[in-house]
Chains A and B, each alone.
Chain A
């Protein structure tokens, strides 16, 4: 590729044509501040509206300042990133943003994680010279996400995630000028929109404009209520990310510390969603085999491919956008909801606690789980199967609130019986994991043979759309994987057009799967963090003695004692669901 020589802050550098000033500067150790710009490398996700103008630099001979994030280098360019003119403009721009921002940092949900706050600190802003009117918008609360648009800096990252990456199309800028605001159409509330609550907007918001609904208070109240038995389940992806909230290296597995922290918080039983993930494989895998069997036998009625249904944002997505395909996804509930249903029946009976007195809390990497747990079909007599779904971040704040020094905690094990899991349950936390877990079980049930290998590398990775063919002892099974709803949409369009080549497809809403969930510690645009979390998930799987869901002894026991067989009537009642046309 053609190389271009230029000079940045008196340093000569050679970069390929097409490189931006921002990227070129980074190569010589110059860190030009940015606010709106966000690039998730290797994931094809970039937000580059050139709107905040914080990254402006001076280019010799140019009439005005150039935004470093979207100006491509040219041969012989002479750039000054910290000339008086550039710094003055940058500071003025930041002051302008601050002049239209509530100064409630001390009590803001984003305090400490706020990129605007960091930048004000970095630039040493001590006074805001331009004061004036501030924009004010109605706060919008939904089951999962709170929009506090007074804090929005119009970076458009949420728009990029919502429209380009997820193709959900809820958030866009409306109104003009000073009154411009990111909003669902007609300024309606999120809960009236087609929002899937995937939370990717929350994950990338640089300020406190988009945050999850905070349910820590309710959980603290439940924990201090002596009449309640409070149990907790933790999703697979949480253990691979929680450590980041306590300054541990990204990708550090903190399963044992997390369990011990939860015990110290006062949960009566600390269980694992991975158990329910194994249960999901039993149900979904059986469903897959049943549909596949019919299909391969020439049944024209059976719908193919089968789609996974663990991800609540994905479920809401197809209910809104592809209601005609609502018979295609597996009817298996998500692990969170399977756990809740089993906990409030089988486990409540086992410990002799009434359903009403059992509180099920889940720790999820996800904000959509809050919405999922509130869906009407996941409750009995108005009592939800899962009472509260906290994000990884909320758990961290609970731990901090309870004076627990996370790093020095001992490692402890989950309680039984709902704490036992296999490696198959663990890998639910990353893109490709659910289908790999399903393959491990479906293969053995279908063929009656033991798998020659357990690591299906062809199903792993970070590509947004992946496909692989797995040989089921002579029968080739075509598998598709999509993460990010925009990628899912492509596969759904193929299915709609009758052109899908797949037998089974795994879909996760968030880029990377649950490790990149909207409820995880903020990655601040660093995609390496997601890759490290993924690596951690696979290493936990590798270290497990049991790595196939159907080998989980407590799952076997659950079927023996309570459910009968996968897809039995009882299983159907408790572990399966139906979907609605929300178009």
Chain B
């Protein structure tokens, strides 16, 4: 039996594979075998290290040596020098850009500190259906500390001092929100947890509820203690069955331990939590619409003021925070406001969870300190763009956000910077686009989403967005005019300026940001009737390159509408009047003869 003392980990992520990490692995194995070390040193392929910019990556354990940009030929040197002689291969070590020094222990690398898990601290570690595991990881200690040692106003001061801002998108200071609700006099107040996550591609809140439901329950109880509420409500979309199940289990267990209910932990504080189900209307993420939905009314927003903190659920003062905001509360209390405030930027403290999606290698859930750059998120954590394509834009803030171009890759991510860049933090969806994405289509996609999700109450959002969509559609058909481009901008501004709620006020953002950053693509559609990314079907045509066509007839046989003709072994042609642009010929051709124009 082999007893491996040393492991050589070779990155097998897509990016590294493209840079011949397979060959590197083989070379390493061969060289080890040359020295008869195959039973002592094991070469393993791993998942992506997320540092694809410097790939391929090789990591040697147990000494944590991290080699970057390793080529297949370097295998010999690694084995001969590092493994045999125990000398690190200096020129392959990562060079810290800050001081130009080579780093020989990867634990010292910044790269390993890119993610900080606060809200996600227990996700993937504890069994969410076992309250003991939560308690074993400091669970409910924050609630206990608050009840035993702090007055509500002291806890509020602590939250204010931490600088925590709402993670649902708006970024309102959480402590301030609690303070306002605390100050309103009422016989009954409510704590509401907004778990109506609705941005396309976003699943931060779902993951927290599925992975660590107690952290939300604990935080809601703390909030109840602070504002003087004995009732909590979780508004969760019914499409999240697993999150609902785990939340229910957690609520039961918390009640059994007396961590919910009457006289919690021997204090005179009572708190209970009910679950309310949303039917998946995006607009119900807006707090007034959410409250109306819980009251059994149509999920439509109403004008603020009055804010829910004054008059919310059933007309009573109500504090609404989202899941991720709540998940940050217990660590802030356990580890202190200063600790939390030490993470992040001046005005945006702590971390933010993002759901990375789109044309990125490491699609997934990440939690990063505020102030990290988009470049770090996309290339160092996300593993870069799929298939080595070129980055084009990243959409943050979901349908309410905007598209940021490569000019913003080095902008530190925080509430204010994203807003200034024409996008927003939003709830944390981050969708990456590459050169194949047509920005007119992207704007159209988001607008279509808004159209479906608008409640229809106010004119600008109900009709204005429809008209915006129609103009975009016209442009993507190649029928747009320069006047349409002006209309897009003018109408977008009016919609932003005059809509009732956040949904309408932000819905033109994808249009405006793409107009700002990708005007050339709009112009190509309008003036030249071309879609540069080749996405807008109406503007494409398929052609067969006579030189390359071998007359194999494969395209002819597969064309669903009989638009292709030609003699066997002779060049084939596509009749443009019949072609439906399905792309099957392109897919089937083995000789790269079908071209898109």
> Do A and B touch, yes or no (CB under 8 Å, in the complex)?
yes
Q: Mark B293-308, 1 if CB is under 8 A from A, else 0.
A: 0000010101101000
**Interface membership of A85, Cβ < 8 A:** yes
Q: A92-B464, A132-B467, A133-B470 are in contact. List 13 more A-B contacts (CB 8 A).
A: A56-B498, A64-B499, A72-B305, A93-B459, A93-B494, A96-B460, A130-B491, A173-B300, A173-B456, A177-B465, A178-B451, A178-B462, A178-B466
7 residue pairs, one from A and one from B, having the closest CB atoms: A180-B456, A177-B454, A96-B463, A50-B303, A132-B470, A130-B467, A70-B303
**In the complex the two chains form, is B455's CB within 8 Å of A177's CB?**
yes
Contact (Cβ within 8 A) A65 B498: yes
Whether the Cβ atoms of B456 and A53 lie closer than 8 Å is no
CA distance A67 to B458 in the complex (A): 11
Listed by A's residue number, 17 A-B pairs whose Cβ atoms lie within 8 Å are: A51-B500, A67-B500, A92-B494, A129-B487, A130-B467, A132-B466, A132-B467, A133-B470, A153-B459, A173-B298, A173-B300, A176-B452, A177-B450, A177-B455, A178-B451, A178-B463, A178-B466
Residues of A within 8 A of B466 (CB): 100, 132-133, 177-178
Task: Report if B444 contacts A (CB, 8 A).
Answer: no
Residue B453 CB within 8 A of the other chain: yes
Residues of chain A lying within 8 A (CB to CB) of residue B246 = none
Tell me if A52 is interfacial: C-beta within 8 Å of chain B.
Answer: yes
**Chain A proximity of B502: nearest CB distance (Å):** 11
Task: Say if the beta carbon of A172 comes within 8 Å of chain B.
Answer: yes
* Contact partners of B298 in chain A: CB under 8 A: 172-173
- Complex contact B303–A67 (CB within 8 A): yes
Using a CB-CB cutoff of 8 Å, which residues 123-162 of chain A contact chain B? 129-133, 153-154, 156
Q: A residues within 8 A CB of B465? A: 177-178
B151 within 8 A of A: no
What's the Cα separation between A67 and B453 when bound, in Å?
22
Q: Give Cα A232 to B534, complex, Å.
A: 73
The answer to whether A224 has its CB under 8 Å from any CB of chain B is no
Give the CA-CA distance A177 to B465 in the complex, in Å.
9
User: Which of these, B456, B487, B499, contacts A178 with CB under 8 Å?
Assistant: B456
A539 on the B face (CB < 8 A):
no
A416 at the interface (CB under 8 A from B): no
Inter-subunit contact B457/A178 (CB<8 Å): no
Nearest Cβ on chain B to A87's Cβ, whole angstroms: 11
B286 CB, nearest partner CB in chain A, Å: 13
Residues of A within 8 A of B450 (CB): 177
For residue A50, which residues in chain B have a CB less than 8 angstroms away from its CB?
302-303, 458, 500
Hey, which chain A residues are within 8 Å of B467, CB to CB? 96, 99, 130-132
- Which residue of B has the minimal Cβ distance to A180? B456
> Which residues of B are found within 8 Å of A51, using beta-carbon distances?
457-459, 500
Q: Which residues of A contact B496 (CB under 8 A)?
A: 64
In the complex, residue of chain A having the shortest beta-carbon distance to the beta carbon of B500? A50
The answer to whether A64 touches B498 (Cβ under 8 A) is: yes
B178 to chain A, nearest CB (A): 24
Asked if B40 lies at the interface with its beta carbon under 8 angstroms from chain A, I say no
Please pick, from A72, A99, A177, the residue contacting B456 in the complex, using a CB distance under 8 A.
A177
Which single residue of chain A is at the shortest CB-CB distance from B490? A92
**Measured between alpha carbons, how far is A222 from B467 in the docked complex, in Å?**
49
Our pick among A93, A100, A154, A172 for the contact of B498 (Cβ within 8 Å) is A93
A67 and B459 alpha carbons, distance in the complex (Å): 12
Judge if A40 is at the interface, Cβ distance under 8 Å: no
Residue in A92, A129, A132, A180 whose CB lies within 8 Å of B457: A180
Distance in angstroms from B182 CB to nearest chain A CB is 23
Which A residues, 45 to 85, have Cβ-Cβ distances below 8 Å to chain B?
Answer: 48-54, 56, 64-65, 67, 70-72, 85
Whether A179 is near chain B, meaning CB under 8 Å from some CB there, is yes
Interface centre among A49, A88, A93 (most CB of B within 10 A): A93
Instruction: Tell whether B148 is near chain A: CB-to-CB under 8 Å.
Output: no
> A4 contacts the other chain (Cβ, under 8 Å)?
no
Residue of B nearest to A131 (CB): B467
Note all chain B residues with C-beta closer than 8 A to A65: 497-498
Q: Are A89 and B494 in contact (CB under 8 A)?
A: yes
**A92→B454 contact, CB < 8 A:** no
Question: Is B219 interfacial (CB-CB < 8 Å)?
Answer: no
Q: Does B505 contact A (CB under 8 A)?
A: yes
Interface residue? B281 (CB, 8 A): yes
From residue 167 to 217 of chain A, which have CB atoms closer than 8 A to chain B?
172-173, 175-180
Q: Is the pair B497, A173 in contact by a Cβ cutoff of 8 Å?
A: no
Assembled-state Cα–Cα distance A48/B303 (Å): 9
Rounded to whole angstroms, the CA-CA distance of A569 and B451 in the bound complex is 64
Complex Cα–Cα for A88 and B499 (A): 14
User: Is A97 interfacial (CB-CB < 8 Å)?
Assistant: yes
Whether A88 touches B456, Cβ cut-off 8 Å, given contacts A99-B463, A177-B462, is no
A424 to chain B, nearest CB (A): 44
Report the Cα distance A97→B283, complex, angstroms: 22
B491 and A64 form a contact (CB under 8 A):
no
Q: How far is the CB of A309 from chain B (nearest CB, A)?
A: 33
